[in-house]
Structure 1
Amino acid sequence: MRHHRPCGISVAEGCRLMGIARSTYYDPLENAADDTAIVEAMFSISDEFEFYGYRRVGAALRQQGLVVSHKKIRRLMHEHDLQPRIRRRFVASTDSDHDVPIFPNLARDIVATGPNQLWVSDITYVALPTRFVYVAVILDAWSRMIAGYAIGRSIDARLTMAALKAAIERRQPPSGCIHHSDRGSQ
């Protein structure tokens, strides 16, 4: 019997008396897989599902009957360069194909030496659970502080104008302040 203890002494006490480690008392797992079998299975999973990280690879291994700890999966994936490819969602926020006049780049040779000399702006989006919201931001190029911003559900000229108005109200820039943005239609 595996866990039979004659004499009524505990496992720890018996191992101590015999001078062996307590872990030698317990039987090894009968279906413990060697690393080569695990790595082969991980390669086949990664070939089929290239975006799987260690959690999903571990779940797929369990479906195949291989029980492996998450630490071992991470170590083997790192050792064998089985890192997942990262999916990136892309939302186009710049529309350069428009009929609105395109102005020259006045900020090309400007090196700001103080605040409110050069403002740069852009639009980005924030993914919420049910939809996207857009954020127009104007930064002071010298201090990298936000001069103004606006948040909206649609990406149009009203959003960028609201950010510019907020920046002007907040900072009251002197004449000669250059406002630079990309060449999107907004």
Structure 2
Amino acid sequence: MSGKRFTEEFKIAAAQQVIEKGYSVAEVAGRLGTTTHSVYAWVKKYFPKTPQATALEDQTKELARLKKELQRVTEERDILKKGRGVLRQPVKMRYAFIKDHQQVWSIYRMCSVLEVHPSGYYAWLKQPLSATAKRSKQLSGLIKQFWLESGGVYGYRKIFCDLRDIGEPCGVNRVHRLMRQEGLKSQRGYRKPGYSKGYQPIVQANTLDRQFNPAQPNQAWATDITYIRTHEGWLYLAVVIDLFSRLVVGWSMKPMITKELVLDALLMAVWRRSPTNKVLVHSDQGSQYTSHEWQAFLKQHGLESSMSRRGNCHDNAVAESFFQLLKRERVKRKIYSTRAEARSDIFEYIEMFYNVKRRHGANDQRSPKDFETFYEMKLACI
């Protein structure tokens, strides 16, 4: 098996499945269609156990300790800043401050800073509630129920109407205040990332013309870009899909939407498939695909370009359908703190599940890999 079959990005992500996800080397090798020797080599290369690595680990632990200490000092400063007037108030006022901010800071940290004992705070919590507090607690339960029934999209005005319909007397401002205390918010949209147009584009004809079911592998590939939201910012994903089996033969993930993103995905596809015939590569008219570098790469590797009509997403329906599956089945079920976390999870979905396990309606309910294996068996029998 050629050493150039997999890109550097692919090898690192595969090694991470062993180191971070806990998969065995044999399982990763089996699902990715490579040898255990290759996976061992990748793990050894990208995650070596050397004295330098040990020293780096010690430095990391020390840095983590210092960060924890800095977090403690920062929290104490913020608590004092927020509650500077509470220290002069009676103990019950301090308890109320702790209760109001227990979602922000730890209870023990606030008790230490505000000079009260945690046991006293918990004893105060067990005291009988006033009539107003009981009513607010009852309304909060109803508000949360209606909010959950709406799928987490209703705001305080619609929740107020739901309460009014069941005969619960309550003001709209009180609903707003209780929802804010519970951290319940309406579902709001977010802006899609902007795209900048490059220089004079090179637009090709729609040669594919929605012929999404070629007779054999490596006749037609579809490629497109999507974006994944993380707390660090956007992570862009480009994929190349073989239309015969819907197998993702190439992908790349980067923090910026550049020409290199789509070129790396196509390079992975060329290395993995090594096509001997001219392959039709279909894309939209994004600036990455209309660039001179993209067209030069296609020409260099004997590939033919095809492009969707402007603004017509149906011309590239297979790639759009894959992104819809990815986001519905994986991305929207997670909250990614970092791009690295998102990258690892998406790699696992594509290479460890979608390509080798997930049944596909266009493949007679076989996975893309199984469908190609079945095709090869039929050819061998002819």
Q: TM-score, normalised by structure 1?
A: 0.53
More helix by share: 2
CA distance in 2, matches of 1:47, 1:131: 31
CA deviations 1:39-78 (Å, max 9, x no partner) are 9xx99932599xxxxxxxxxx64946xxxxxxxxxxxxxx
Counterpart of 1:100 (choices 189, 194, 201) is 201
CA distance in 2 between counterparts of 1:133 and 1:96 reads 19
Specify the SS of the correspondent of 2:231: coil
Percent of counterpart pairs with the same letter? 26
Measure how far apart 1:102 and its partner are. Answer: 0.5
- RMSD, aligned CA: 3.8
Whole-angstrom distance in 2 between the partners of 1:94 and 1:62: 37
- Alignment partner of 1:170 out of 267, 272, 283: 272
Shift of 1:89: 2.3
Q: CA deviation at 1:121?
A: 0.6
SS in 1 for 2:263: helix
AA paired with 1:136?
A
Structure 2 contact 159–175 (Cα < 8 Å) conserved:
no
Confirm or deny that 1:90 pairs with 2:196.
no
Cα distance in 1 for partners of 2:192, 2:155 equals 32
Name 1:145's counterpart in structure 2: 247
Mapped contact 2:221–2:280 kept (Cα < 8 A): yes
- Greater mean deviation of Cα atoms: 85-94 or 112-121: 85-94
Distance 2:194 2:269 in 1: 21
State the AA in 1 paired with 2:280. Answer: I
1:81-140 deviations in whole A, cap 9, x for unaligned? xxx974332324666785211011111153312222111011111222121121111111
Which of the residues 31, 46, 65 maps onto 2:157?
A: 46
Q: Which amino acid is the alignment partner of residue 175 of structure 1?
A: N
1:9 counterpart residue number: none
Q: Distance in 1 between matches of 2:225 and 2:155?
A: 42
TM-superposition CA deviations, 1:10-66 (whole Å, max 9, x none): xxxxxxxxxxxxxxxxxxx99779x9xx79xx99932599xxxxxxxxxx64946xx
Q: Whole-Å Cα distance in 1 between the matches of residues 243 and 196 of structure 2?
A: 24
**TM-score with structure 2 length normalisation?**
0.28
Asked whether the 8 Å contact 1:95–1:184 carries over to 2, the reply is no
Give unpaired runs (5+ residues) of structure 2.
1-130, 148-153, 161-173, 179-184, 289-382
CA 172–93 in structure 1, closer or farther in 2 if over 3 Å, else same = farther
- Which residue of structure 1 aligns with residue 258 of structure 2? 156
CA distance in 2, matches of 1:95, 1:180: 21
**Residue in 1 that maps onto 2:219:** 117
Structure that is richer in strand per residue: 1
- The whole-number CA distance in structure 2 between the counterparts of 1:164 and 1:99 is 22
In the TM superposition, residue 176 of structure 1 has moved relative to its aligned partner by: 2.6
The letter of the residue matching 2:240 is I
Q: In 2 relative to 1, CA 167–106 (structure 1 residues): closer, same or farther, beyond 3 Å?
A: same
Query: How many residue pairs end up in the alignment?
Result: 126
User: In structure 2, do the counterparts of structure 1 residues 114 and 101 end up closer, same or farther at CA, with 3 Å as the change threshold?
Assistant: same
Cα gap change, 1:99 to 1:48, in 2 (>3 Å): farther
Higher radius of gyration, 1 or 2: 1
Change over 3 Å in CA distance of 1:100–1:47 after alignment to 2: same
Q: Compared with structure 1, are the counterparts of its residues 62 and 115 closer, same or farther at alpha carbon in structure 2 (3 Å cutoff)? A: same
Q: Which amino acid aligns with 1:166?
A: M
